Amino acid sequence: MDGEDEVIDYLSGEVTDHALDPLLAADLDDLNALLADPALWDDPAGDLRERVVLAVEAEVGASAAPPVAVVATADSAAPGRRSTPRKKRWAAWLGPGLIGAAAAGLIAFAVTRSTDDGSQRASDGTIELHGTDLLPQVSGKAEVTSLQSGLWIQFDVPGMPRREGDDFYQAWLRSADGKLLVPIGSFHEGDHVSLWAGVSIEDFPILTVTKETAAAPDSPDQGSSGEVVVRGQYDEP
């Protein structure tokens, strides 16, 4: 029986012949007491989402607090119950699971807030993408979202041969008249790529991807190679 089985048996109340570390057992007793508190299972207040989002936004730009700070706050109702080393032990045991899940939930709230607020979204649409003669077998799409910070493009074209080392793919937005070109990101392959641009999709509606190789800062090769492998155009919905 491994350590995880012992913990599960202990939490479920089953008798086990495998003695746990006394400090860990004390931590698990505290956790069981917390989970047994009826207040933990009350329906959340109607403004909980807004309060959580505001709390997350207040932390933007601040240094991330270590997990032990979360545990210390949760344990503040029982001063003197545990020493700092035990707090760290509990944080280390819970961190990958419960604390990580809570953090993921907070991030989800923040992302939803940033993309479903009409004041931050200028336009949305999809660019249908197709391979050129250099890569005719591929196709996909790019989801476009205009945010206050810039243009977010979620690019997904499966099957693009991976490029590694000094070789990579470069994505571009081109103006409708073809006179202006803006680089929006480089990548190895076309699955689930996030691209960003500081221009509007209405002014730069053509998305292309070229094959590139790393070049010196002052080299003419810093521009597009012209080897376009994927192309598509945004049509305003």
Residue-wise pLDDT for 130-184, tens only, equals: 999 999 999 999 999 989 889 999 999 999 999 999 999 999 999 999 899 999 9
Closest by CA to 157, choosing from 196, 195, 121, is 195
- Buried (b) or exposed (e) across 65-87, using 16+ Cβ within 10 A? eebbebbbebbeeeeeebeeebb
49 shares its domain with 104 = yes
Task: Select the more confidently predicted residue: 144 or 59.
Answer: 144
| Count of C-beta atoms within a 10 Å radius of residue 224 | 16
How large is the average pLDDT for residues 191-203? 95
The DSSP bridge pattern shows strands 228-233 and 124-131 to be antiparallel
How large is the average pLDDT for residues 28-33? 78
144 shares its domain with 226 = yes
206 shares its domain with 140 = yes
Q: Which of 89, 116, 143 delimits the end of a domain?
A: 116
Task: Select the more confidently predicted residue: 216 or 35.
Answer: 216
Q: How confident is the model at residue 228 (pLDDT cuts 50, 70, 90)?
A: very high
Checking if the pLDDT of 118 tops 50, the result is no
In 3-state terms the chain splits into helix, strand, coil percentages (rounded to 5) of 35, 25, 40
- Buried (b) or exposed (e) across 156-189, using 16+ Cβ within 10 A? ebeebeebeeeebbbbbbbeeeeeeeebbbbbeb
The DSSP bridge pattern shows strands 167-174 and 206-213 to be antiparallel
135 shares its domain with 200 = yes
170 shares its domain with 98 = no
Q: Which of 61, 83, 116 delimits the end of a domain?
A: 116
Checking if the pLDDT of 115 tops 70, the result is no
What global pTM score does this model have?
Answer: 0.51
Task: Note the pLDDT of residue 70.
Answer: 44
Tokens of 178: 């073809």
How large is the average pLDDT for residues 127-132? 97
Checking if the pLDDT of 111 tops 90, the result is no
Its domain, for residue 214, covers 120-233
The amino acid sitting at 26 is: A
Q: In terms of DSSP H, where are the helices of the chain?
A: 3-12, 22-36, 48-58, 67-74, 84-94, 100-116
Tokens of 175: 């103006």
- 21 to 3, 75, 122, 227: CA distances (angstroms): 10, 20, 56, 63
217 shares its domain with 133 = yes
12 shares its domain with 91 = yes
Q: What is the CATH number of the domain that holds 227?
A: 2.60.40.200
Domain count, the chain: 2
Asked if 209 and 172 count as a contact pair (C-beta separation under 8 A), the reply is yes
Q: Which of 87, 116, 145 delimits the end of a domain?
A: 116
**136-146 tens-digit pLDDT:** 999 999 999 98
Checking if the pLDDT of 7 tops 60, the result is yes
